[in-house]
Amino acid sequence: MHIVITGVTRGLGRALAEWYIAQGHTVSGCGRSGMEIFELRSVHPEPHNFDAVDVTEVVKVGMWAERILGSSGAPDFLINNAALMHKPAPLWQVPAPEFAKLIDVNIKGVANVIRAFVPAMVEAKRGVIVNLSSGWGRSTSPEVAPYCASKWAIEGLTKALAQELPEGMAAVPLNPGVINTDMLQKCFGTDADNYPKAEEWAQRAAPFILTLGPKDNGQSLSVPGTPLE
């Protein structure tokens, strides 16, 4: 299968990419770190594709998608993983530029990638769009209001998209659960060590994602076997 993943240089995106490649799938991915993209290219040459792309840059996302679609065709799975977390603080203390950047990546970035890839998937009348949500896309906690807002938006955006897709396709908002990543450490500090690491999580999450299809269209799902809080 051809699987496209954003935010592929670290955390959940990197763990998913490594698992899918190990299982013989073709992965196309993007991330903002040029150094880590170079490493991925060195370790995983063609037919895999890795590019330094910021999902907030509409033109560059479009150019990246055009190249990937031209070389590998429409993806079977499009996984929107790229996201930011702000420094935890009461909403009124979160600087406006930090709030804006989070919204640009977590919401607008997802829309940019969908705009670039989904027309080819619709034309092929197949494929699954998985937009990574969060427990904070279905509940709330203090000091993470901007992140909650972005992930609640992902839930609504994905469910509306699901109603727009042709029969045979699916869009799913997926709560990955609580995983020990750089993002979680930013929120939980040393308590993040009590949760599974991304590589362990991917052993459950990656095959679960491959089971998603039209039967799951528009459903808010969570990765089985992963702590949800």
Separation of alpha carbons 148 and 141, rounded Å: 8
Q: What percent of the chain has pLDDT over 70?
A: 92
Q: How confident is the model at residue 33 (pLDDT cuts 50, 70, 90)?
A: confident
Residue 21 has, within 13 A of its CA and on its CB side, a CA count of 22
pLDDT recorded at residue 187: 59
pLDDT recorded at residue 190: 63
- Whether residue 52 contacts residue 36, with contact meaning beta carbons closer than 8 Å, is answered with no
53-70: pLDDT as tens digits: 999 999 999 999 999 999
CATH, domain 2-211, list 3.40.50.300, 3.40.50.720, 3.40.50.460, 3.20.20.70: 3.40.50.720
Q: Is residue 147 annotated as a catalytic residue, yes or no?
A: yes
Output the CA torsion sign for 59, 147, 32, 77. negative
Catalytic, out of 117, 147, 152, 201: 147
pLDDT recorded at residue 152: 98
pLDDT recorded at residue 188: 59
Separation of alpha carbons 201 and 226, rounded Å: 7
pLDDT recorded at residue 201: 94
pLDDT recorded at residue 6: 98
106-136: pLDDT as tens digits: 999 999 999 999 999 999 999 999 999 999 9
Length of the chain: 229
**Sheet containing 26-31, strands listed edge to edge, beginning at the edge strand earlier in sequence:** 49-52, 26-31, 2-6, 77-80, 127-132, 169-175, 221-222
Tokens of 205: 């999450």
Q: How confident is the model at residue 226 (pLDDT cuts 50, 70, 90)?
A: confident
Mean pLDDT, range 36-47, rounded to an integer = 96
**Residue 164: which H helix or E strand, with range?**
helix 145-164
Separation of alpha carbons 27 and 40, rounded Å: 11
0.75 surpassed by pTM = yes
The answer on pLDDT for 185 being more than 60 is no
Parallel, antiparallel, or unpaired for β 26-31 and 49-52? parallel
Q: How confident is the model at residue 183 (pLDDT cuts 50, 70, 90)?
A: low
Please give the biggest Cα pair distance in the chain: 48
pLDDT recorded at residue 82: 97
* Residue with the larger pLDDT of the pair 152 and 188: 152
131-181: pLDDT as tens digits: 999 999 999 999 999 999 999 999 999 999 999 999 999 999 999 988 855
The SS3 call for residue 28 is strand
Mean pLDDT, range 99-103, rounded to an integer = 98
Neighbours of 70 (CB within 10 A): 9
190-205: pLDDT as tens digits: 655 666 788 999 999 9
Listed by start position, the domains of the chain span 2-211
